[in-house]
Amino acid sequence: MRALALFLLLLCLPAFCLRGADVAVVYAVDAVAEGERGFARALAGHVRRWYAEAGVEADLVADSAFRGGDGHGVAVLVDCYTPNAAFLAQVRRGMAAGTRFVVCYSGSAGLARLFGLEPVGYKKDGPRRSMAFLANRPKGAPAEIAQTSENRFEVRPAKGSGAAPMAWWVDARGRRAGVAWWRTAGGHYWMTHVLTGDGDEEGKRRLLLAIAAERSPGVWAAAGRRILAEASAPLRDGSLRERIRRFPRGSEQRERLERAAALLEAQRAAAEAALGTGGVGAYQAALDLRDLVARVYAQTFTARRGETRGVWDHSGMGLWPGDWERTARTLAAAGITDVYVNVAGAAFALYPSQVLARKGSADCLAEAVAACRRNGLRVHAWILAFSCERAASSATVAGFRERGWTLQEPSGKELNWLDPSHPAVRAQLVAAVREIATRYRVDGIHLDFIRFPGLPQSLGPRTRARFEAARGPAPGWPGCVSQPNGARRQDFLRWRAAQVADAVQAVRTWLRANKPGVQLSAAVYGKYPACVDSVGQDWLSWLRMGLIDVAVPMNYTEDPAKLADWLGTQTADPRLAARIVSGVGVTAAESRLTPFEALRQIDAARRAGCRGFALFDLDETLRTAILPVVKARSEP
């Protein structure tokens, strides 16, 4: 009882933070080009979120507003590539006041000199798969953090500075590939790239906590308290017991779960006691409890036989680049049935293509197909239909613009997106599908970005010309189609949606005639029918007309009520529901889900009658936190 009372008292206390908001996460405004500011802020947002999820408050500050010596004990500088003299002066002030700095990716000689380092230069010699840390890392930091990075800005110690490597980049073959982190004699840190949100979020969170804990060891107890509250929720609110009672009294399953629940209560008491000791052990005890509770909680759900249990692989290279066999074994062991492998887009191909611009020398599609087939997994070739994201080169996109293939803003400014209404663009998509389906034994073609990027991005001069050629003059453009009461708005929205549907129809026609056994699916917006007008994606009609076999709506939200609303609309027709695989945004930009939240979203899809679920995205977080839970609940 005393342990429980202590735990409840701790929960009532405000989350521990270092003297208020003692951590500053500084993002570049003045220190990067205007077009890169949004990306810098997004990267800094990841760092702030990782701290917040551990119960540590952090200020998000622009470099132009940062003031050294204002009480921040730790300052993380994100993408401050070319800081100006005023910012360097603030860094010097902060150093004098005792602020501990963490610099992530800078090419500034002036900033490097402040930390006893010298710039060597920019290098793009990846990809690297992880960072391997040395013994001089902060206490409690992980020995290895997974991250795929292709580029870095290399630095070296100035003579006599005392700076030393703290972590090495590791390539796909397990070899050292340059210094990832330096630790300076003054106790500061310098990373040669940035911490990205592409996986292993727990490892990155733990590293940031370990750095903060060097100044304030109580950070570990604060973080442990936050995780413990999350892990204990199904025990405190009775939801776990309630789910266990749904099994027949006296059944083997119920008795096994009741024994497990009793052990969890004991484990919780031990984790509570660890909070009193502080240190990294308190945090680890809370993490261990969360893992155990999630696994037991998962066993209270019943999976459906034959359902699709999918995973999106955005990198196209699996969890371990160069080792698809290991990835396939890991997924198969977790009960995954389908893998959507991103191997192509409008401006790139991760295989030797005669249609698309090749990126890299590996044949990632061949590797994925071979490994997945050996392990009983279905492979869907994931194609970014119209987006120029991940382009093989700037020249590739420039070529599209010269041919008039790209969308434009009303002003005529070119966008990095191909125009779905352009016949040659649709022909390229069909040619890429034909090439993949003919040369590789894929089980499916998975179309993504099969839409316009938005209404304002659909109003360029070339698109107008094609619309008017098809539907007649549009005087007062773009207002006549962009304004809510525009005279040609509804006609334009219908025409635009028809252009996307025509592209899907072209792919469907070729597959049906030549590869009828290859499934056609599409990643689509979850909010329907709003997506029809917003991006021209009338995907429920595609299902009704048989243009696609399966729709995979990206139901990325943390709000259960919103998810229920979306699923209700999507599955109103049970015949269509059976052809819908609900996308679960575990680590999407729109949603970051705990294991418990992911479990509930999977269950919501099952209760709605969906064909299955697909998890976004295949990364270290998914591997370590979610797949073990999916495995636990995927056993019929």
Residue 492 domain flag: no
Q: Find all residues with CB under 8 Å of 266, minimum gap 6, and list them.
A: none
| Rounded CA separation 603/565 (Å) | 15
Q: Give 148's pLDDT tier (boundaries 50, 70, 90).
A: confident
Q: Are residues 282 and 391 in the same domain?
A: no
User: Does the residue 523 lie in any domain?
Assistant: yes
DSSP 206-228: HHHHHHHHTT-TTHHHHHHHHHH
Lowest pLDDT segment from 3-17, 307-321, 495-509: 3-17
The reply to whether 491 falls in a domain is no
Kindly report the pTM of this predicted structure: 0.86
Count of domains in the chain? 3
pLDDT-derived band at 8 (thresholds 50, 70, 90) equals: very low
Distance, CA of 424 to CA of 300 (rounded, Å): 52
What would the pLDDT profile of 522-540 be if each residue is shown by its tens digit? 999 999 999 999 999 999 9
Same structural domain for residues 43 and 21? yes
For residue 460, being part of any structural domain is answered with no
Whether residue 106 has pLDDT greater than 70: yes
Q: Tell me if residue 581 falls in helix, strand or coil.
A: strand
267-284 pLDDT tens trace: 999 999 998 888 899 999
619 vs 453: which has the higher pLDDT: 453
Please state, rounded to an integer, the average pLDDT across all residues of the chain.
Answer: 92
Of the ranges 43-52, 124-133, 324-333, the best mean pLDDT one: 324-333
- What does the pLDDT read at residue 634? 53
Residues 188 and 150 in one domain: yes
DSSP of 396-455: HHHHHHHTT-EEE-TT--EEEEE-TT-HHHHHHHHHHHHHHHHHS--SEEEEES-S-S-S
User: Does residue 139 fall inside a structural domain?
Assistant: yes
What are the backbone angles phi and psi of residue 156, rounded to the nearest 5°?
-145, 160
Residue 8 counted as domain residue: no
Terminal Cα-to-Cα distance of the chain (whole angstroms): 39
pLDDT of the residue at 2:
37
Q: Is the pLDDT of residue 381 over 60?
A: yes
Please indicate, yes or no, if residue 470 is contained in any of the structural domains: no
Q: Give the separation between CA 62 and CA 30, rounded to whole angstroms.
A: 8
| CATH at 88 | 3.40.50.880
At which of 213, 245, 267 does a domain end?
A: 213
The answer to whether position 477 is within a domain reads no
pLDDT tens figures, 159-215? 999 999 999 999 878 899 999 999 999 999 999 999 998 778 899 999 999 999 998
Name residues whose C-beta falls within 8 Å of residue 110's C-beta, 6 or more positions apart in sequence: 83, 85, 88
pLDDT for position 297: 92
What are the pLDDT digits (tens) for 200-213?
889 999 999 999 99
* Final residue of a structural domain among 213, 232, 265: 213
Instruction: Please check whether residue 167 is in contact with residue 134, taking contact to mean a CB–CB distance below 8 angstroms.
Output: yes
- Residue 235, Cα to own-chain centre: how many angstroms? 29
In this structure, the answer to whether residues 243 and 384 fall within a common structural domain is: no
Residue 54: band (very low, low, confident or very high) from pLDDT cuts 50, 70, 90: confident
545 and 601 fall within a common domain:
yes
The DSSP secondary structure of 301-325, one letter per residue, reads: S-PPTT-EEEEEESSSS-SSTT-HH
The pLDDT-based confidence of 124 (bands split at 50, 70, 90) is confident
Query: What domain range is 66 assigned to?
Result: 17-213
298, 320, 352 - which closes a domain: 298
Q: Are residues 196 and 250 in the same domain?
A: no
**Would the pLDDT of 7 be above 70?**
no
Contacts by residues 359-368 (CB-CB < 8 Å, ≥ 24 positions apart): 359/390, 359/392, 362/317, 362/322, 364/316, 364/317, 364/324, 365/316, 365/341, 365/436, 365/440, 365/442, 366/440, 367/318, 367/324, 368/313, 368/316, 368/318, 368/324, 368/328, 368/339, 368/341, 368/343
